Structure 1
Amino acid sequence: MILFNDHNRHLSTFYKMAKKQSDPEKVIEFMTQLRHPLKKEIEAVRDIIKNTDTRISERIKWAAPSYYYKEDLVTFNHRAQDCVHLIFHHPNIEKINSPILEGNFVSRRMTYLRNMDEIMAQKTEIERIMKQLIAYLEEE
C-alpha cells in the first residue's frame, strides 16, 4: 500500500502540471545548450531550411536538429567542428543533382559548409534542394 504524504502529493501535482516539450521547443533547448564553433552558421542554415517552406517541421533526430515534411529530409551532424555538416537522407535525394551534394550513398547525400560566406553563397541552392524534395513528396 502506498501512503501519500505532503511531499508525494506535491510531486504528483508537479508531474501532472509539467508540460511535455514540443518538437520546436526541444530544438530551441538543444541549440541553447549546443557548444560548437560554428553555432551562428548552424543557426543560419536552420533559418534557411525552416523558411524555405512553411510545411517543413523541425525536431531532434540522431541528437541534432532534423527537418521533415511527411518524411525525414535532412539532419545536421555536429561532430565535425570545422564545418556545418548536413545529411540529406530521403531516398529522393538521389534524383537531385547539385554541386553541394556529395557522396554516392544509397538514399543519402552530404553537404559541408565551412563558413558564413559559403552558407550565404549556397542559400538559394539549399532552398532549391529542399523545395525539390518537397515536390517529390507531393507527387507520391
Structure 2
Amino acid sequence: MDGAAAVDAYMAELDHPFSAEVQTVREYILAAHPLVTERIKWKSPSFHVGPDDLGAFELRPTEFLRLILVFPNGLVDDPTGLMRGTWADRRELRFTSAEDVADKRFALQHVVRDWVALL
C-alpha cells in the first residue's frame, strides 16, 4: 500500500475528537507544495519530501490536535507565532477547533513552503 493509501486507511479507522481537523490539516499541508507527500510513520499520519521528514500528527492528546514539525536543516521563519517550543530541531503546532484550523491555514502553508525551501 502506498503512503497516501495507508494514510487514507488509517483515517478511515481514526477515532479521535479532532479527526475531521486532522483531515483538513492533511489537505492544507499537501496543497502547500507539490513535493510534499504522506505516509504512516511514528504510528500517525506524517509528511515528507523524499527521505526528509516534515512532521507528524501526535494524536495522544484529545483536548487539542498536535502537529510536530521537524527541521533538521534549520528552523523556518514564523512571523505569525504559529509554532510553539524552543527545541533545536522541531516545533509544535496546536489546533483547538475547526475554526482554529481554518484561521491558521495560510500560516501553516507558509511554514511548509519555507521548510521545503530549506532542502
Q: Same fold (TM over 0.5)?
A: yes
Deviation for aligned residue 1:97: 2.4
Taking the aligned partners of 2:3 and 2:34, their CA distance within structure 1 comes to 15
Alignment match, 1:124:
106
Q: Which structure is higher in helix share?
A: 1
| Counterpart secondary structure, 1:103 | coil
Q: Which structure's CA Rg is the greater one?
A: 1
User: Aligned to 1:79, which of 60, 69, 77?
Assistant: 60
Shift in CA distance, 46/93, structure 1 to aligned 2, threshold 3 Å: farther
Matched positions, count: 117
Instruction: Tell me the TM-score normalized by structure 2.
Output: 0.93
Deviation for aligned residue 1:48: 0.3
User: Aligned to 1:66, which of 34, 43, 46?
Assistant: 46
Alignment match, 1:100:
82
Higher RCO (C-alpha 8 Å, min separation 6) = 2
Residue type of the alignment partner of 1:49: I
Deviation for aligned residue 1:93: 5.3
Gaps of 5+ in 1: 1-20
- Runs of 4+ deviating beyond 4 Å: none
Taking the aligned partners of 1:64 and 1:95, their CA distance within structure 2 comes to 23
Instruction: Tell me the TM-score normalized by structure 1.
Output: 0.79
| Counterpart secondary structure, 1:131 | helix
Percent sequence identity is 25
Residue type of the alignment partner of 2:102: M
In 2, are the aligned partners of 1:93 and 1:109 still within 8 Å (CA)? Answer: no
Give the alignment's Cα RMSD to 1 decimal: 1.2
